[in-house]
């Protein structure tokens, strides 16, 4: 054995200093031919947190209470997936409103909203509960300043992204924004995804949406995500489209404390 790549007892691990830059599992060390007990236990904990995030039910009452100060009506909805097990096994059911929810939304006033926001549990209800209210608060202020007509907030259970298309159409909205929990990773059980679709209607393709991903303090901070979302909303309204034809050309925002601003729509 040449000993290449092996460290002598007491020798510092040259990779360890890089761990402060990432949550990825690097420089875990080893004990003989195995990983250290601490690394093994951390992995099992992260895996358990990811599983819990997928199966955890959305606390609708608590979320609605946090949304109340935003000053918009809050509506409740659900997909055709009757429970979590069906939701995970039948993604198609999560893309369609339950009949009673569709009827309820159809009875709402359709004032020709510029934008409607849908908050769906997706694959991590934890993400929506933790980050969606803060993101909305940061986005609504500049939109109101510019006179946007904003529809009610819709909290949807057992929801997939495409559920927003039906909600947006029912409320006669020009744009729908779906805030939804992303598939948990082993270091990110609470990542929030944001999907923007112009002229929402059932049958829209994913290529017709824009996505802002990994919204959370350890990923893309809410203030930065709000900056991007407000920019994309204004650009989408101006160009009357979303998706692959709409690029995120928003100026890079390094200071997370800067309030989002609207671009010139002229």
In a domain, 151, yes or no: yes
Q: Residue 18: inside a domain, yes or no?
A: no
Domain limits for position 178: 55-239
- What CATH number does residue 235 fall under? 3.40.50.11240
Whether residue 42 is contained in a domain is answered as no
Q: How many residues can be counted in the chain?
A: 266
Neighbour count for residue 211 (Cβ, 10 Å): 16
Domain for residue 40, yes or no? Answer: no
Asked whether residue 9 is assigned to any structural domain, the reply reads: no
Domain total of the chain: 1
CA–CA distance, 43 with 32 (Å, rounded to integer) = 19
Q: Do the Cβ atoms of 151 and 177 come closer than 8 Å?
A: no
Is the residue at 221 inside a domain?
yes
C-alpha dist (Å) from residue 262 to 81, 236, 250: 38, 12, 10
* 182 is an annotated ligand-binding site residue: yes
Per-position pLDDT tens, the chain of length 266: 444 455 666 667 777 788 888 878 888 888 888 888 998 999 999 999 889 889 999 999 999 999 999 999 999 999 999 999 999 999 999 999 999 999 999 999 877 899 999 999 999 999 999 999 999 999 999 999 999 999 999 999 999 999 999 999 999 999 999 999 999 988 888 999 999 999 999 999 999 999 999 999 989 999 999 999 999 999 999 999 999 999 888 776 655 444 555 555 43
64 is in an annotated binding site: no
Q: Is 139 annotated as a binding residue?
A: no
Extended strands (E) in the chain: 74-78, 115-120, 150-157, 175-181, 192-198, 209-215
Q: Domain for residue 120, yes or no?
A: yes
Instruction: Tell me, yes or no, whether 49 lies in a domain.
Output: no
């Amino acid at each position: 054995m040449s000993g290449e790549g092996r460290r002598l007892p007491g020798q510092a691990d040259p990779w360890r200093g890089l761990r402060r830059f990432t949550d990825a599992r690097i420089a875990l060390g080893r004990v003989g031919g195995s990983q250290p007990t601490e690394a093994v236990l951390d992995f099992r904990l992260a895996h358990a947190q990811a599983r819990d995030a997928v199966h955890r039910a959305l606390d609708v009452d608590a979320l609605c209470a946090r949304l109340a100060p935003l000053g918009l009506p809050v509506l409740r909805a659900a997909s055709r997936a009757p429970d979590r097990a069906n939701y995970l096994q039948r993604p198609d059911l999560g893309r369609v409103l339950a009949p009673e929810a569709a009827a309820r939304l159809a009875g709402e006033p359709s004032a020709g909203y510029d934008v409607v926001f849908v908050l769906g549990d997706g694959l991590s209800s934890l993400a929506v509960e933790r980050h969606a209210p803060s993101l909305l608060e940061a986005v609504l202020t500049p939109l109101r300043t510019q006179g946007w007509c904003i529809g009610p907030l819709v909290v949807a259970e057992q929801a997939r992204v495409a559920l927003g298309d039906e909600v947006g159409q029912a409320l006669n909205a020009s744009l729908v924004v779906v805030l939804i929990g992303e598939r948990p990773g082993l270091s990110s059980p609470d990542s929030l995804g944001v999907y923007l679709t112009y002229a929402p209607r059932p049958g829209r393709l994913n290529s017709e949406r824009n996505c802002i991903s990994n919204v959370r303090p350890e990923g893309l901070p809410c203030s930065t995500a709000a900056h991007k979302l407000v920019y994309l909303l204004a650009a989408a309204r101006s160009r009357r489209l979303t998706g692959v034809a709409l690029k995120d050309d928003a100026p890079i925002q390094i200071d997370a404390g800067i309030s989002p601003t609207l671009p010139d729509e002229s």
